Amino acid sequence: MVWKPNASAPLWDSPAGDEPQGPFFPEVEIEHIKQIGPSCVATTLAMIARTTGADVNPDEFKGITNSQSPHSWSNALKPYGMQLAYCNHDLRRIEHYIDELVELNDLFFLSFYSVNPPSDPDGNGKLCTAHIVTMHNGTIYDTAKHSGSGGVVLANEYERLERQTKRIFRVVPLGHPRCV
């Protein structure tokens, strides 16, 4: 057998065995929330928790999450029957995989660098700023913008598709085998 490394992987590997395949949340109704200050993670989590009928706000998530700890984000979604699962990704620009995410037709969080990331962090240990948006069924919800001015837009028309990826998560049901 001649083996060669595979230079690419799908964002979401085909399910193995009896693993649920998805889409997991095709019918959720997302109501856009505009963030106040640097609170994209907390606002995004509140926006998704509200799809379950929960009456929550971003401040409730600020106290239980760390903006740099996806594990804390996943734990914060547990009371709402959801968790996060990492997707395969690299530093590619969003434009290079957006069609693949649209085709999966589900609920995702996309995190990307706000500027071209340097290779080393600054003196405070920070690499650079990043942002997170929600993508559901081919629509991006960006909490940094008002819904009528770029905050709710078709994924292929999102104005920041040239940004490099930091992380990609699929929102999965509580207890899914791939959850964070």
First to last CA, the chain: 35
The pLDDT of residue 115 is 81
- 120-179 residue pLDDT tens: 777 877 767 889 999 999 999 999 999 999 999 999 999 999 999 999 999 999 999 999
Is the Cβ–Cβ distance between 170 and 85 less than 8 Å? yes
Is the Cβ–Cβ distance between 134 and 81 less than 8 Å? no
In angstroms, rounded to a whole number, what is the distance separating the alpha carbons of residues 172 and 177? 9
pLDDT category of residue 18 using cuts at 50, 70 and 90: confident
Instruction: Please state the domain extents for the chain.
Output: 40-173
pLDDT category of residue 102 using cuts at 50, 70 and 90: very high
Name which residue leads in pLDDT, 69 or 115: 69
Q: At residue 130, what are phi and psi to the nearest 5 degrees?
A: -140, 170
List the alpha helices (DSSP H) in 50-165.
58-62, 70-77, 98-104
pLDDT of 81 over the 80 cut: yes
Q: In the CATH scheme, what is the homologous superfamily, with its name and number, of domain 40-173?
A: Cysteine proteinases (3.90.70.10)
CA 175-24-143 angle, 5° bins: 100
pLDDT of 36 over the 70 cut: yes
Can you tell me the mean pLDDT for 3-27? Answer: 86
In angstroms, rounded to a whole number, what is the distance separating the alpha carbons of residues 64 and 162? 31
